[in-house]
Amino acid sequence: MRSTATRRRLRERSASQDRPSGFKAALPTSDDQGMKPFRAKCPHCGAVFEEPWHPTLVHVLSDKLLTCPACGKTAMMKTNVTDPVTWPKP
């Protein structure tokens, strides 16, 4: 068991540093290398769109639970897509 003074010193040291603590400290940020947007393809309308990377997306292998911006339906969408982006239309 740590003494009260030791716990206070550790708390002050961690509060003085400019970094998050706990769960958020373990998550990579979007400005880290390799955290770029990924392409997803809607199984309902076939639209291919780019989605920003997010650490808490529900996923099974390369499928992610997303809502299509074109048709508004939610589904497990393939994210290993190499097709050109079709939504939004230029």
Q: Which amino acid is at 64?
A: K
**What average pLDDT does this structure show over 69-90?**
89
Give yes or no for a contact between 78 and 40, defined as CB atoms under 8 angstroms apart: yes
Domain assignment of residue 67, yes or no: yes
DSSP H or E run through 48: strand 48-51
Domain assignment of residue 87, yes or no: no
SS3 87: coil
Domain assignment of residue 83, yes or no: no
Domain assignment of residue 85, yes or no: no
What range defines the domain where residue 12 resides? 4-78
Q: What pLDDT digit, counting tens, does each position of 5-64 carry?
A: 777 777 776 665 555 555 555 555 555 555 678 899 999 999 999 988 877 778 888 889
How many domains does one find in the chain? 1
